[in-house]
Structure 1
Amino acid sequence: ALALQDAGACAVVLECMPAQVGKVISESLEIPTIGIGAGPHTHGQVLVYHDMLGMTSHPHHEQFVPRFCKNYADVGTAIQEGLGAYKADVEAGNFPTEKYSPYKMSEKEEAIFMELVAPDKGSTEQKLSATRKKLIEADEYETIKVY
């Protein structure tokens, strides 16, 4: 830490150490220390918000969250539920609706647009159909059932 200070660091992050070590280092430096799992004696504290808010919700989460991190919320479950509801709405054709499609063009603009894209329509539809099929078949998340 002293070498970092001497090299011109403006602060040092102290991570995963006994509180006594964090205290001694903090008292030895002229620059601020920021602790993450380094006890209460550093000049400041930081946590990864994904951990402290419980954003990650899966069967093995408990094994990987740092032991020094206090969980202040469990938003991971809410995030997972929200993403699931979004996916279900999209797959069922319930999203987006007119309410969530605010960008409009006039009838004249639409006619001009359709005229411009008409020459490519046939070949584009064939390519899109093949691409959609490949993408659906390659949906790795669904295939491996990660969580």
Structure 2
Amino acid sequence: MPRISAPDVTAAKGTRKIAMLAAYDYTSARLAEAAGVDVLLVGDSLAMVVLGHNDTLSVTMEEMLHHVRAVAKGSQSALVVADMPFLSYQVSVETAVANAGRFLKEGRAGAVKLEGGREVAPQVRAMVAAGIPVLGHVGLTPQHLAALGGFKVQSKTAEAAAKLLDDAQALAEAGCFAVVLECIPAPVAAAVTKVLPVPTIGIGAGPDCDGQVLVFHDVLGLYDRLRPRFVKQFGELGEQAVAALTGYVEAVRSSDFPGPEHSFSMTPDALAAFSALIGQNKDTSDSRPTKP
């Protein structure tokens, strides 16, 4: 099956829903792709979910590249999108293009994602001109957490909603192949989706978006430090994992594991020769020169 491309995602608008998942390593990429996920986003949320930080601001380009490479290796057909970390694209257009290019060249991603609206349109245009597909992101933008005052629903007033629509349109006009809408009222997301010529990918933005994205660990119930209202857990693998690991610890301590079926044997002759060899080496090492 050929790999899904950014133009394929754009072409899906109005024809089918797009399933996106944030994943961070080779194994999760393989599992997600086996389930039929269209787009694998290597989100900067790995700072929290994988690296244990309290926000997304601490993750570096090198850390992101490390995880993007792993996801790309585990994916054969899904579009891999690399999330550009804080200050990797805001400083200048030139820096933005250079860092985005690294994700395609070194990370083997098929596209990049950045946060912001009209203010990052110049970066988007330059990336697209350089042949780098770009996924936009407006609404709750975690890299702007300090300015937003925390994880809060955005665009709740008429003015704020109008600005969000303007930002989303600016991103589409700059060349984004799709736009993520995070944590905004469902009617606002529906209006943006209707107007925008490219797909919208919702996360906490209601059912009318062209697609949805959640985090791998949230879907499976593996991360419990933060549970936003918009997250639906489709499994409780965290509880199952603790139960399985508890069984392992108890089996080790009770000597029930490993059993004969988990061990390897030797032929009687090889074992006898090995025992003799150990005895000979022991005798040699224990010998001491006799004093006159």
The interval holding the TM-score normalised by the smaller chain is 0.5 to 0.7
Map 1:1-147 to 2 at 5 A. 1-56=168-223, 61=224, 64-101=226-263, 107=270
Residue identity opposite 1:9 in structure 2 = C
Write the distance in 1 (CA, Å) between the matches of 2:207 and 2:198.
Answer: 17
Q: Structure 1 pair 29/101, CA: closer, same or farther in 2 (3 Å)?
A: farther
Structure with greater strand share of residues: 2
For 2:263 and 2:204, the matched residues in 1 are separated by: 46
Larger deviation, residues 81-90 vs 37-46: 81-90
Task: Tell me by how many angstroms 1:105 deviates.
Answer: 8.3
Q: Which runs of 5+ in 1 are unaligned?
A: 119-147
In structure 2, give the amino acid aligned to 1:79.
Answer: A
Report the Cα offset of residue 18 of structure 1: 0.6
Decide whether aligned partners of structure 1 residues 92 and 8 sit closer, same or farther in structure 2, where only a CA change above 3 A counts.
Answer: farther
Write the distance in 2 (CA, Å) between the matches of 1:10 and 1:49: 23
Structure-1 residue corresponding to 2:109: none
- Structure 1: distance between partners of 2:180 and 2:262: 44
Look up the SS of the partner of 1:45 in the other structure: strand
Query: In structure 1, what residue type is equivalent to 2:197?
Result: E
Give the 3 Å change call, closer, same or farther, for CA 88–30 of structure 1 in structure 2: same
The residue identity in structure 1 corresponding to 2:230 is: F
Task: Give the % identical residues.
Answer: 43
* 2:214 match: secondary structure: coil
Q: CA deviation at 1:81?
A: 0.6
Q: Partner of 1:136 in structure 2? A: none
Give the TM-score normalised by the residue count of structure 2: 0.31
Distance 2:179 2:263 in 1: 48
* Matching residue's letter, 2:261: K
If the length of structure 1 is used for normalisation, what is the TM-score? 0.56
Q: Could you say what secondary structure the match of 1:64 adopts? A: coil
Partner Cα distance (2:173, 2:266) in 1:
62
Q: State the aligned residue count.
A: 108
> Where in structure 2 are there 5+ consecutive unaligned residues?
1-167, 282-292
- Structure 1 runs (4+) deviating above 4 angstroms are 104-107
* CA distance 1:87–1:9, shift in 2 (3 Å): farther
Distance 1:99 1:64, change over 3 A: same
